[in-house]
Amino acid sequence: MTGAADAVAPHELVAFEVPLSDEDEEPVTAPLVLAWTRTLVSGSLPHTDATVMGMPLIPVDTTVLDPADSSPTDRALRVLRTLAWPFVEAPPNPALCGFLFTGQDSMRLYLAVDKADGLVAADVQLTGALTALLAALPSLIGEEERWVTDTSDPHCVHAVDLTTW
């Protein structure tokens, strides 16, 4: 459902029926559904006579719908969700203890690394091969040869620059 931020009545909202699997019956990702939704709400809504729970119901053909570009906020949330709540039974290691935006498309992650005497900061870009970086982050952050001392940051004992990784 979409609508104005303060919309609560069904006639103020619109329901989109978006398929949650692709043509190969593989599940689509949440970021893709969000991108489609942004595209849908950015244009004029097609007329529909179908309703659900008092809301206009618009079936969506995702084969002809271009997803909107992700925003810097989307990319930052993807990093934070991946590190803070990974799809594993064991708690994340290293644990994400905090973060700081360092630019429009960059952030510093504060991670608890077992062999460090405090937090290790990892500077990362929010574009590029983000999935590969997130998968490699636990091993990269633990490589002591990458560690440098950042005396300007009181929140970490070491820093690792992964902005060009």
Handedness of CA 130, 136, 139, 143 (dihedral sign): negative
Q: Calculate mean pLDDT across residues 136-141.
A: 89
Within 8 A by CB and 6+ apart from 15, the residues are 1, 52, 53, 55, 56, 57, 58
Distance CA 114, CA 2 (A): 44
At 90 the pLDDT is 65
Average pLDDT over residues 32-44: 86
- Residue 86: what pLDDT? 57
Work out the pLDDT band at 1, boundaries 50, 70, 90.
low
Banded model confidence at residue 28, pLDDT cuts 50, 70, 90: confident
- Distance CA(95)–CA(82), nearest Å, equals 11
Q: Residue 41 — pLDDT band, cuts 50, 70, 90?
A: confident
* Residues 6 or more apart in contact with residue 114 via CB below 8 angstroms: 93, 94, 142
- Quote the pLDDT of residue 21: 82
Over residues 63-110, the pLDDT tens digits come to: 898 999 888 888 888 788 777 665 556 666 788 889 898 888 899 999
Residue indicated by tokens 């590029």: 128
User: Tell me, what's the pLDDT at 79?
Assistant: 81
Q: Provide the residue ranges of all domains of the chain, joining segments of one domain with +.
A: 2-64, 72-161
